[in-house]
Each structure stands twice: as C-alpha cells, then as structure tokens.
Amino acid sequence: MERLPIVHGLIRHTDRLLVPLAQQGWGRGAYALRSVSSSLRNMTVGARPSALDAWLAVLLVTGVLGFLAIGVGFLKGHDKVFGVEQEVPWGVLISTYVFFVVSSTGVCLVSSLGHVFGLRRFEGLGRQAVFIAIIMMVSGFIAIGAELENPWRLFIYMVVTPNFSSAIWGMGVLYSLELVFLVVEFILLSRGEMARRSKETSGPAGLFYRTLALGDATRSEVQQRSLRLAKYAGIGAAISGVAATSTLGAVFGVMGARPLWYGPFMPLYFLLTALVSGAAVLALVTFLGYKTSQRRRNEGTQASVKDLGNLLLGLLGLFALFSVWSVVVRSYGHIPAGYDALMLLVRGPLSLPFWGLEVAVGMLVPLGILLTPRARTLGGTALAALLVMVGMFAARYDLVVAGQLIPVTGQLTPLHYTPSYTEWLIVSGVFATCGFLYTLGHRVLPLGHGD
Amino acid sequence: MNVSRRKFLGMAAKVMVGGIIVYGVTPSVLEAIARDKTPQASSPNDGKQKHQWVFVVDVSKCIGCMKCLEACKRENLVPPDPDSRRTWVEEYTAGEDGAALGHTANWGSDGPERTGPSAEHQEPAGTKGFFVPKLCNQCEDPPCVPVCPVSATFQTEDGIVLVDAKRCIGCKYCIMACPYGARYLHNGTRTVDKCTWCYHRITKGLPPACVEVCPVEARLFGDLNDPESPVRKLLKEKMTQVLRPETGTKPRVRYLGLQEGVR
C-alpha cells in the first residue's frame, strides 16, 4: 500500500528544513524532531491513498484556518471579530463547547455499558470509544479556550483562588478529571497491543509504542492486570463524567436571572442529551468502521450498529418527551422572560434552528427512520445518528442563545445574535481538528477490537 | 462477562451516587468551610461595619442630561463606545394603558431625545415620559459573586462588589448572573468591569463621580452610619423601592418614585 502523500510531503519538507538546522549546530533538538517526523512517516504507512488523502487535506486546511481565526480573535479582540456583544456574551463557541464535551461524556457512558458494566453487546466499543471521548473533550476545550478572554489565567486561578460555589469551577475540574481517567483508561486498555507494536517497530516509533505500553507488557498476567485496572479507570471516568455533565447543566440551571435556564431540570436534561449524543456518535463511527475497515466488516459490527440504533431510538424518544414538556410547561404561567425566551424559539427569530434543525432534523426524521423497519438498514441507522448530531448541535445553540436574548434591562425588544464568519471558522476548525485526530488515531493507535 | 439486569442497575446506581458525592457533597462542604473564613456582609445596623453606604436615585428629578454618563466614563476609564457602561440612563414613556415602556437607545449615551424613541413606540407629542438612571445595585446577596470560578469578583467587608481584573478569565458568567445587566466586558483590559460606586472615592470620603456632577440631585449618596447624612434623613422620611425585588438579591440602590413597568 502507498503512503499518505500529504502527510508524507509535509514530513519530507520538515526533513529538508531540519537537516541543515541540525548541521548548523542546532544539534540534538533538530535531530530529535526529525526522528519524530520520520517515525510518523513509518506509522502512517498503509492507508488507501487518494480518498483519505483528500479527506486529511481538507481537515488540515480547515483546522489550520480555525486556529488562525482563534489567533485573529485574540489579537484583534473578540469584540471586533466575534458576533457576541455586551448583552449577548455567550455565542456559538460556547454552544460548540457544550456540544463536544457533553457528547464526549455520552460516548464514555454508552461505551462503559460494555467494558465497565459488562453488557456484552456493547463490549466491542472499547478502545475506540474511549479514544473518541478523549478527542471530543479536547475539541470542546479548544472551543471554550477560543471563547474565554484570558484562558491562560484559568490554569493559575482555578487552583490558586478556587471558588467552590461556582458551577463553572466544578465543571472545569470535573471535566479535567474525566479527561485524566479517560487517558489512563485508554493507555491501560491498549498496553498489550502497544507492547506488540513496539516489538514490531524500531526507532522513535518503537519508543512511542514502548512508552505507551508502560514498559514490558507482553506477559499476559501483566495485560490482565492492566485490563482490570482499566475497568476502575472506566468507572472513574463514568462517575466524573456524570458529575461533570450535570454540573455543566447546573452552570445554566443556577442562573436565577435567566428563567429559560433556571431550575433543576437542566442537569438532568444535559445527562439525557449526553446519552443521546453518545449513542449517536458511537453508531456513526461503528458504521464508518464497518465501511472503511476490512477487519471490521463482519456480523459483530453489524449487530453493534443495530444495538446502538435500538439504544438511540429509546433515548431519542425520551429526549423528545423532555422537549415536548419543556415547551408545554414553559408556555403556561407566562413567567416573564421564560415565556418570552420560549416564544423566540417557537415563533421568533430562532424558530428555524428550533423547528427545522432541533425538532425536524434532529428528532422527527431520525425517529421516523429508526421506527421504520425498511428504512432501518445499517446506512439508515448511521444517517439517523448523523441527523441526531446535527439536531443536537442546533439544540445547544438554541438553548445558549435563546436564554440571553430577552434583555434584563429596560429594553423592550429582544436582542440579536448572529455568529460572525470568524466564529464559524473557529467552529469548523474545531470539527476539523476532531476529525483529524480521529483519522490520525486510526493510523497510529490500536483502536479496533482486533487491531 | 455478562451481567444480569439487577447487577447492571446496581452498578448504575453506584455510579449515580458516586457522581452525587463527587460534586454534590464535597464542594458544598468545602464552601461551608470557606464561608466560615470569609465573613459575609453583615446585616444593617449591627454596628460592626465601618460604612453602610446607600445610593438613592430620585426618578422624578432626573432630566436626562446624561452628565453622569460622561463623568463616569472619565473617572473610571470606561471605553467610549455606548455598550461599555458602568452606569446608564433608561428612557421610558407611558404606553396607551399608562404603563411605562422602555425604549433606551444606546444606553442614553446619545443624550435624551437625540435619537428619539424607536419607530415601534412612536408616541404622540406630550406623552408622559421619565428617565431611570441605573448602576450596580451592590446587592447584599449578589448573584454574580458565587458564580465566578476564580473568585475574581468579591464583596468587600463594607458591602461593595468589586472585580479583581488581574484574576478575571473573561468567562462572562457573572454577566449572565446579574439580573440588572450591570456588568460589561471592558474591551481594553478584556476583563469584566462594573460600577463600584467609585470605591476609590467613597473610601476617601468623596461622593461617586456621577453623584457629584448631577445638577438636580437625582443621584444621592451617603453613609447610614453617619448621623448627619442627608440620605439617612431622606430614607427615614420617604418610601423607596428597589429594582426587581423578586430576584432576592437585596439591592442597595433605593429608588424614589419608581413607576410600574420599570424593570
């Protein structure tokens, strides 16, 4: 099989740059970088060239554009290039953050049905699911990092002057904790495979796998112990994930000044939607694995997609019920800003993303597909899952934006928010980064069941 | 490994309980401890506080000259754009049913009537109208303080809510939490900023800048601990109201002559 020309080309150019540097006395550093790049080249051997190559190129360019946009945002100031303004300070970057981190926890929870709770039909999700949870979490962190005005201070003052009563503090700590558990779980789950690969490869690639194998992990009792420990890490990830996601719900739920968000409903709503997104993401990637990998083109994968489809159907039904009641309940009583904010969604400026994307694309069509036996093929299930994700992205946006548009001051007319191009560039960059990491992960890490 | 439904539910329950313990219990315990160390603003008249500052706005006197806005921007280096504001003046006219309708354009920074009411609320000449100056309420129970993840915003012992700009990460959660819209993002420092009742002046015995420039005494400021304070006498004589009492924030800005429909 051929090597990936794009990655290959990049590496070749890096090599050209690094060799003279090394010769001019930049010495070890340049050589070390060079050996990393050549090992990357070794690891990326064996993909189907053209289609994957174009896919990676698109992701790379979009990702780079996104990061440039983040840079522009910080250099010029968010007030200059973002659509958010004084009265509507949270925009599409916040909703994108919510979309990613909640989905990440959902993936973690749904996959732990197999490798933590031991439901056999979900066991095949293992390593790949944990990896996806990690990269979705990282993607979410990029989105919120781009939105905060001074993100670097977060690392200092969350520790130096923490505020335990702040839901954002709790959310930050718990998601970080979940991420640590997920990374530990992933490494423990992959030790044996990493050890096998480190035997097969040499040089920096070998070192890479040897490091991830945490030393000698070829003996089966070592591997068994790792898998047992991985289960505990998985339980840790699930617990911190449940806590983190419900705390993110509380970030909105405790806002007495924003009636659309206020109340104990939010943490539960976030947990439920996490499970919906998790089932959808896993159905989608399992289907992708079935389509793109010879090894996974088997009945086990088919059954897996089917099971995830069942799970998605059940959760989606519950989500639809939640949505119906949240509209109905809020339309009674006319709680001042709560009712007004709901009306923005139901028959105001947000009615297109609400009825069109959140309800029709994200709920009704997927429910239709999953309930119709003829439509519910493997591809149909994957399509339903994709639509659910689109709807979920819109649902995050609707919730975040609608909650802010009713002014808290004496202004009579609702406020407006339209994301700027810079914001959309960042959002697409975050999606591309996630896709790039996913593709790269499939090239260099053991993600599949039999990989 | 395969598990029974009963075992699965058992494990699911443990995860839920674990989640509740990790977030639900620990921080609240920690918070209780933290609260023990930092005394909250004590209730009025217990004599412990050095100052009991109070701000009074007399709606019936305000003529909408907007001198307060200019003075505030100069005094506190507030960026010139109208959306950056520590204080602002809302303009109301009476609707057909007599209730007040707000239609503030640019927070009053264009001056009264210069932009005119918006087309939707075009009122016939001679309709009743009035101005409502607004600023930070320095709430006794400020909803903005407990939400800050890095404790960048806090309440001083004499009850003023301040922002430590050096710590602010710019998450804007406090802007969300304020039911009065009193906070904004300072585009120069990229941190959240708000009215401090000119803390740097009042701690030296001077009135806030907006109070000093008001030509009609629509803005009044004083210390209830000072027996000679005119504001103290005024509050004894007249009934006052606060904005949005239903939010439970216990605002310290008292309004005279506030009308129905002002929020």
- Which of A120, A242, A257 comes nearest B179 by C-beta? A257
- For the cut 80, the answer to whether the pLDDT of residue A143 exceeds it is yes
Does any domain span residue B10? no
Q: Does the pLDDT of residue B202 top 80, yes or no?
A: yes
pLDDT for residue A39 is more than 60: no
- The string of DSSP letters for A412-444 reads -S-------HHHHHHHHHHHHHHHHHHHHHHHH
Mean pLDDT taken over chain B: 83
User: Mapping DSSP to helix (H, G, I), strand (E, B) and coil, where does residue A65 land?
Assistant: helix
Inter-chain contact B152–A161, Cβ cutoff 8 Å?
yes
At residue A448, does pLDDT exceed 90? no
Q: Which CA distances in Å does A63 have to A68, A92, A247, A426?
A: 9, 17, 29, 8
d(CA A427, CA A143): 7
Range of the domain at B163: 38-263
SS3 label, residue A123: helix
Residues A258, B195: Cα–Cα separation, whole Å:
21
| Measured distance CA(B173)–CA(A187) in Å, rounded | 35
* Rounded mean pLDDT, B250-261: 90
Per residue in A99-127, pLDDT tens? 999 999 999 999 888 776 767 777 667 88
Task: Over range A371-389, report the average pLDDT.
Answer: 95
The verdict on B84 touching A (C-beta cutoff 8 Å) is yes
Q: Is residue B158 situated within a structural domain?
A: yes
Minimal-distance CA residue of chain A relative to B120: A413
Is pLDDT at A276 greater than 50 in this prediction?
yes
pLDDT at A36 over 70: no
B39 pLDDT higher than 90: no
pLDDT at A178: 97
Which residue among A89, A238, A409 sits closest to B90, beta carbon to beta carbon?
A409
Domain membership of residue B30 (yes or no) is no
| Cα–Cα distances in angstroms (integers) from residue A163 to residues A72, A158, A173, B53, in the given order | 31, 8, 11, 27
Task: Establish if A201 belongs to a structural domain.
Answer: yes
Residue A264 domain flag: yes
- A interface test, pick of B86, B162, B176, B190 with most A CB neighbours within 10 Å: B176
Domain-located, residue A20:
no
Q: For residue A217, give Cα distances in angstroms to A55, A116, A355, A449.
A: 35, 22, 53, 18
Q: How far apart are CA A169 and CA B145, in angstroms?
A: 13
Strand-pairing partners, residue B154, are: B162
SS3 B210: helix
Q: Tens digit of pLDDT for each residue in A323-374? A: 999 999 999 988 888 899 999 999 999 999 999 999 999 999 999 999 999 9
Name the nearest CA neighbour of B165 among B145, B142, B192.
B192
**Reported confidence tier of residue B144, pLDDT bands at 50, 70, 90:** very high
For residue A120, the 8-state DSSP code is G
Residues B71/A382, Cβ–Cβ less than 8 Å = no
Average pLDDT, chain A: 87
CA angle A324, A320, A340 (to 5 degrees): 35
pTM: predicted TM-score of the whole model, two decimal places:
0.86
Q: Between residues 213 and 252 of chain A, which touch chain B (CB distance below 8 Å)?
A: 235, 238-240, 242-244, 246-247, 251
B60 in a structural domain: yes
Q: Hey, are the CB atoms on B104 and A242 less than 8 Å from each other?
A: no
CB contact burial B197-206 (16+ within 10 A = b; e otherwise): bbbebbbeee
* pLDDT value for B42: 42
Has residue B184 got a pLDDT over 60?
yes
Domain of residue A236, CATH code: 1.20.1630.10
pLDDT of residue A44: 53
Look at residue B182 and tell me if it is in a domain. Answer: yes
**CATH number for B167:** 3.30.70.20
- Rounded Cα gap, residues A402 and A340, in angstroms: 9
Establish if B22 belongs to a structural domain: no
Residue A27, in any domain of the structure: no
For chain A, how many structural domains are there in total? 1
Print burial letters for A72-103: b (CB count within 10 Å at least 16), e (below 16). Answer: ebeeeebbebbbbbbbbbbbbbbbbbbbbbbb
Domain of residue A256: give its range.
83-419
Query: What is the spatial distance between Cα B258 and Cα B263, in angstroms, rounded to a whole number?
Result: 10
Average pLDDT over residues A175-188: 96
Q: List residues bridging with B132 in a β-sheet.
A: B90
Q: Chain B contacts of A89, Cβ < 8 Å?
A: 172, 175-176, 185
Residue B19 lies in a domain: no
**Distance of alpha carbon B37 from alpha carbon B30, whole angstroms:** 11
Residue closest to A117 by CA, chosen among B14, B6, B19, B8: B8
- Confidence category of residue B49, pLDDT binned at 50, 70, 90: confident
Residue type, A424: W
Q: Judge whether A365 lies within some domain.
A: yes
Between CA A419 and CA A62 the distance in angstroms is: 18
Is residue A65 a part of any domain in this protein? no
Inter-chain touch A239–B18, beta carbons under 8 Å = yes
pLDDT of residue A451: 44
For chain A, percent of residues with pLDDT exceeding 70: 86
Residue B127: inside a domain, yes or no?
A: yes
